[in-house]
Structure 1
Amino acid sequence: MNAFTPYSDDAPSRTDVDAMRGSAVIEFGANWCSICQGAQSNIADALAARPPQQHLKIEDGRGKPLGRSFGVKLWPTLVMLQDGREVARVVRPGSVGEITEALQRLDS
């Protein structure tokens, strides 16, 4: 299992996200969130089984505009993007398979 990589407080703007090219995963969560911490192994395993893509771990919460623009309500939430457009989403993933299924929507 990988060590927990903290969520970043330095979020891109929604305009920058919409302009992204290629596949990307934005993971919204909070560093103190035990559910987020518990999901890290499954997230890491699912991402490791795919070709590399951009993975942004963004600290979410009250007053965080990027999470609000995606309608994030529960953590962790993974938003899969293809060329800046959402193609899949997983909220509070419970298994590697659930994440892998959503990741398969990338580049399809």
Structure 2
Amino acid sequence: MKTRYTAEAPQRAEIDALKGAVMLEFGANWCGHCMAAQAPLAEAYAGHDGVAHYKVEDGPGRPLGRSFRVKLWPTMIFLRDGQEVARVVRPLAPDDIAAAFAQIDIKG
């Protein structure tokens, strides 16, 4: 699991072409809601090491977040073979995130 949001984001076409289970997490390192979601995310992510995790710094003019219509942080988008399967916005409980992992991770 990644721990810091990074400014370098893949292109949307790269994300759409990814195979397997992927979680995109949009937010900012200074965001209070994002910080609060990290403990539940860590708990839910345990056992899902096969899920690729992209932790993308978002903000105005950031094309990847806009292409997924991200409005609030953190937003976690769960993909299987480049297709969105689940989305969790501002989660507070590990169960909310775990349910989304179960939809994309065949071991989940």
User: Which of the numbers 52, 59, 76 marks the counterpart of 1:61?
Assistant: 59
Secondary structure of 1:71's counterpart equals coil
User: Percent identity of the aligned residues?
Assistant: 50
1:29: which partner in 2?
27
Work out whether 1:103 is the aligned partner of 2:101.
Answer: yes
Q: Deviations over 1:68-105 (max 9, x none)?
A: 00000000000000001000000000100000011111
Q: For 2:105 and 2:37, locate their aligned partners in 1 and report how far apart those are by CA, in whole Å.
A: 24
Aligned letter for 1:9? A
TM-score, length-scaled by structure 1: 0.92
Secondary structure of 2:104's counterpart equals coil
Aligned letter for 1:28? F
Q: What are structure 1's unaligned runs of at least 5 residues? A: none
TM-score, length-scaled by structure 2: 0.92
Moved over 6 A (4+): none
Q: For 1:24 and 1:88, locate their aligned partners in 2 and report how far apart those are by CA, in whole Å.
A: 11
Aligned residue pairs: how many?
A: 106
Q: What are structure 2's unaligned runs of at least 5 residues? A: none
- Counterpart contact for 2:19–2:82, Cα < 8 Å: yes
Q: Deviations over 1:4-63 (max 9, x none)?
A: 821010000000000000000000001110110111010111011334210010000000
